[in-house]
Amino acid sequence: MSIKFSINLLFLTIIALFIWVFPGIATAAPDKLDTNYPFIIAQTMPEISLTPQQSQQLQAVNQGRSKQIKAVLDSSQRQELSHKLRAGDNLNQALDKLKMQPEQREMVKAIGQVYNLKLKALESKFSGQLGLK
């Protein structure tokens, strides 16, 4: 009986010690991660000076994404998305709040994944041109 008590006491002591030494771990909560629309925002690229041609390439990718998303949505959804963006929501927030069919959500998600790949390719290309790699 005393061995069980000793083991339990040791176990509780170790837990209390960890909570005391690492208080952030006990209260840590993950940030809200939005995995529905995994768009990489252009601002996440390293702060570099882009040439006019590079800016144009980045703008073309962004415009292509916008056109593809608009093609998936009907006119009322496009208006609602536009309203939400003007109200200050970012693209992910606006798309989350938008009422869409499951097929539309999947299409928008696929567009986002292609967009991410294009941005990564551009980032790699830009880094290579600037000798940052």
Q: Tokens 């093609």 belong to which residue?
A: 71
35 by DSSP, 3-state: which? coil
Q: Read off the pTM.
A: 0.58
State the residue for tokens 């567009």: 111
- Residues 73, 65: Cα–Cα separation, whole Å: 13
Residue 77 has pLDDT above 80, yes or no: yes
Is residue 13's pLDDT more than 70? Answer: yes
**Domain ranges in the chain?**
1-30, 31-130
| pLDDT over 90, % of the chain | 24
What is the DSSP secondary structure assignment for residue 43, as one 8-state letter? Answer: G
- pLDDT at residue 121, rounded to an integer: 85
Q: What's residue 28's pLDDT? A: 54
Task: Tell me the Ramachandran region of residue 90: left when phi exceeds 0, alpha when psi lies from -120 to 50, beta otherwise.
Answer: beta
The CA-atom distances, in angstroms, between 11 and each of 5, 8, 21, 29, 96 are 10, 5, 15, 24, 44
